[in-house]
Amino acid sequence: MLFIVFLLFSLHKVEAASSSSSSSSASNYLIGLGSHDITGPAADVNMMGYANAEQTTSGIHFRLRARAFIVAEQHQGNRVVFVNLDACMGSQIVTIKVLERLKARYGDLYTEKNVAISGIHTHAGPGGYLQYVVYIVTSLGFVRQSFDVLVDGIEKTIIQAHENLRPGSIFVNKGELLDAGVNRSPSAYLNNPADERRKYKYDVDKDMTLVKFEDDEWGAIGSFNWFATHGTSMSRTNSLISGDNKGAAARFMEDWFEQKGVKSFDGLFANRSDTGRIPRRVSRLVPNDDANGNELMRLAASFQPYKGQPVTRLSSSARRVRNALRMAERPEFVSAFCQSNCGDVSPNVLGAFCTDTGLPCDFYHSTCNGRNELCYGRGPGSDEFESTRIIGERQFRKAAELFDKATEKLKGKVEYRHTYIDFSSLEVSVPKVGGAEVVKTCPAAMGFAFAAGTTDGPGAFDFKQGDDQGNVFWRLVRNVLKAPDQEQINCQCPKPILLDTGEMKEPYDWAPSILPVQILRIGQLVILSVPGEFTTMAGRRLRDAVKGVLISGGRKEFDNNVHIVIAGLTNTYSQYVTTFEEYEVQRYEGASTLYGPHTLEAYIQEFKKLAAALINGQTVEPGPQPPDLLDKQISLLAPVVLDATPLGVNFGDVKTDVPLDSTFKRGNTVAVTFWSACPRNDLLTEGTFALVEILQNDKKTWVPAYDDDDFCLKFKWSRPAKLSPQSYATIEWRIPENAAFGVYRISHFGASKNLLGSIRHFTGSSSAFVVA
């Protein structure tokens, strides 16, 4: 039997290699991909994105990952690194520390010039990993665990990609995805010139650009794509860590390829009759049990709950579904869904409605009877989990289509340009009737409409979008922190300043002033790394400006055949960038454009310089270095002191089990609660807190089937009281429609902490039950 399996694997390897050689000529790059867990603390940590102090982590929807590609010219040529994070955004201090580690390991091979670290903008990940005060206020300051897991995960992802470098080819494809985003600030978009708007069919970008990586030996090994839509399918009240719609799409794509690439083995190991649906993340070892219901019931009844007991630290990692039957020599398929100019793009595609009346919100201010708190974006699902799945699935299906039809091969040099710019006082030349005018950007500041939030996550009090006046009360509150001087007020006009963050320095900087701008080039693909959220029209203007420079430079490879993508929220974070006209309206995005009305023109000016330097082979001055504020960070998040259970109860014991003699159908939800401990004791990185196991054919072996990286499984953690040392873990499994019939159980892994600070790992399992 083992010989047959080995033979089939070998045949698959040959088929993959022949498929690659048939679709491409000789390789022209070295390609390496990597992926690593960056989930972070699943308890007590404020989530980054909505700035809701009450939104703290308490479990996992599915795990977060860092995914990276390295592309290098053969024969010791240039190389670039692009890392995509299932995180809200890139962080300057994370980037600084990752680059320090890379320098220690590789010397000058990977630097700020050729490394880009980008976030997908999920609003359901742990916060506290940025270095500026305004971005960590709600997380009670800096959260070392959030920071460390990102730095470690990014470094390991890049190491993996570096060690996987092999000859290969890259293909690019582009197509429209119409139903995954709508403009959440249409009144601001309409303030752009009518002639400009007429050039575009939609008020958001609908294009997805995908690159497909092919290894000379193994064939396709991964894909990265860029598409603009916010990571706000999960709401501001959600407390489960989630990659939102882009994280979901990445998992669907990786599962799809795994199922597609090894379909020859399905008959050996599993019943996969439902191949038209999104594939499940499940080991191919899971059997198709043909026993009848009565036999399964008798078998399940023979397995009692598995009481909690100590295990090794690596136990949960060893039981992860994705570790089963992985071919050690074959590169892991990696698929990333990257963020673009998503500033005004919402995944809540049904539009914004008032929760009290069901009517559409006010068009100009997104209020309901003058209140912003009641205006929310909807859909497309019946709840946030379903909406996340649907928007993720739509992106996945478009990506799979582009992946299968990608034929345009990237050819040409690997190049990059990078510089740091002080955006607090940058001189910018802007067009004016009869010539040009020199204006300046401003120190960072946020307007009153910033506090109103958006239709994806409304703010509170009496703030509203589209406010270009402010009010007396909140000005008094603002002045307690820092009153802006007249020069700053004039510079930011018509923005009424709520927080003068660029001039607030206590206990350390509240907002960034020095920002990175970067261009990465692989053949005819050009990636613009921007440290913020560009709106739709702002992104279009930036792409067009850079394209104009590239095409006018006389390089044949760019003659009307250049693919320019914006990689949003990359290397650091500085909030939003709108057009000058959108800024005048002062919706949320305009109020969050930090450096004044000419911020976009400043970016365009500096990116055009980089593009010109790239095509002319010129070097670029590095610019002023951003500060390293790690030693100044303050954390007010209380540590875990002690975990406890009632007398006679072990960590991992079942608190609430499945009913006796239970039989569940596909589509049902099974829930089991365990006595647990705080997940911050050990993040179980590359492991799992929750596991669904199926009894294999020999009736003796429990095989991993689903874990906490599966969309169908939720790990929910809670305490009976806020300061209680006791805690529970509830694991909910919504049985997929394509789950195999058989006997199952649910298991929990964790780690407890005693008064001496010692960490002890544990596990426990529920009673067995039947899925039939």
Check residues 681 and 291 and name the one with the higher pLDDT: 681
∠ CA 256-259-265, rounded to 5°? 175
- How far lies 223's CA from each of 179, 244, 282, 438, 613, in Å? 21, 19, 21, 43, 29
Instruction: Read off the pLDDT of residues 6-38 as tens digits, 9 standing for 90 and up.
Output: 333 343 443 333 333 334 446 789 999 999 999
- pLDDT for 688 equals 97
Is residue 307 a part of any domain in this protein?
A: no
| Contact present, 84 and 64 (Cβ < 8 Å) | no
Encode pLDDT of 327-382 as tens digits: 667 889 999 999 999 999 999 999 999 999 999 999 999 999 999 999 999 989 99
Q: Which of 24, 242, 346, 662 is catalytic?
A: 346
- Same domain for 758 and 708: yes
Residue 475 lies in a domain: no
Residue 421 backbone dihedrals phi, psi, to 5 degrees = -125, 135
674/599 same-domain check: no
Proportion of the chain above pLDDT 90, given as a percent? 84
* Residue 602 burial (C-beta neighbours within 10 Å; 0-12, 13-18, 19+): buried
CA distance 112 to 84: 15
End of a domain among 560, 587, 620?
Answer: 620
From CA 452, how far away is CA 475, in angstroms rounded?
A: 15
Annotated binding-site residue? 533: yes
Is residue 633 domain-resident?
Answer: no
Average pLDDT over residues 601-618: 97
- Residue 651, by phi and psi: left (phi above 0), alpha (psi -120 to 50) or beta? beta
DSSP 136: T
Q: Are 20 and 214 contacting, i.e. CB atoms less than 8 angstroms apart?
A: yes
How crowded is residue 1: how many other Cβ atoms within 10 Å of its Cβ?
6
- What are the beta bridge partners of residue 82? 69, 116
Categorise residue 405: left if φ over 0, alpha if ψ from -120 to 50, beta otherwise: alpha
Count of structural domains, the chain: 2
pLDDT band of 261, cuts 50, 70, 90: low
Residue where a domain stops, chosen among 562, 590, 620: 620
Query: Is residue 90 domain-shared with residue 225, that is, in the same domain?
Result: yes
pLDDT score at 27:
74
| 542, two tokens | 């930036």
Task: Flag whether 14 is in a domain.
Answer: no
Whether residue 576 is annotated as binding a ligand: the answer is yes
Q: What is the CATH number of the domain that holds 674?
A: 2.60.40.2300
For residue 182, being part of any structural domain is answered with yes
CA separation for the pair 384, 376 (Å, rounded): 12
Count of CB atoms situated within 10 Å of the CB of 661 = 12
Q: For residues 579 and 573, give the distance between their C-alpha atoms in angstroms, rounded to a whole number.
A: 18
- 360 within 8 A of 182, measured Cβ to Cβ: no
Residue 579 shares a structural domain with residue 645:
no
Decide if 35 is catalytic: no
Q: Are the beta carbons of 762 and 309 closer than 8 angstroms?
A: yes
Do residue 729 and residue 615 come from a single domain?
no
Q: How many CB atoms lie within 10 A of CB 468?
A: 17
Domain that includes residue 368, residue range: 29-262+334-424+509-620
On whether both 652 and 716 belong to a single domain, the answer is yes
Look at residue 654 and give its three-state secondary structure: strand
Structure tokens at 267: 């008959």
pLDDT of residue 283 exceeding 50, the answer is no
Reported confidence tier of residue 433, pLDDT bands at 50, 70, 90: confident
Residues 191 and 230 in one domain: yes
Residue 271 has pLDDT above 90, yes or no: no
Tell me: do 673 and 714 sit in the same domain.
Answer: yes
Residues 655-710 have pLDDT tens digits of 999 998 899 999 999 999 999 999 999 999 999 999 999 998 677 889 999 999 99
Q: Does 658 share its domain with 552?
A: no
In a domain, 607, yes or no: yes
Burial of 392 from C-beta contacts in 10 A (0-12 / 13-18 / 19+): buried
Q: Are residues 514 and 655 in the same domain?
A: no
Q: Where are the beta strands (DSSP E) in 93-203?
A: 115-119, 125-126, 166-176, 182-183
748 appears as a binding residue in the annotation: no
Q: Are residues 597 and 685 in the same domain?
A: no
pLDDT at 248: 98
Residue 576 and residue 675 in one domain: no
CA distance 384 to 232: 9
What Å distances lie between residue 648 and 247, 307, 644, 645, 651, CA to CA?
41, 12, 11, 8, 10
Considering the domain boundaries, does residue 438 fall inside one?
no
How far is 134 from 648, CA to CA, in rounded Å? 46
Tell whether 230 is in a known binding site: yes
Q: Read off the pLDDT of each residue in 163-182 and give the average, rounded to a whole number.
A: 97
Q: What's the angle, vertex CA 690, arms to CA 687 and CA 691, rounded to 5?
A: 90
For residue 452, being part of any structural domain is answered with no
Domain end call among 586, 620, 654: 620
Q: Is a pLDDT exceeding 80 seen at residue 578?
A: yes
Name the residue with tokens 């494809």: 173
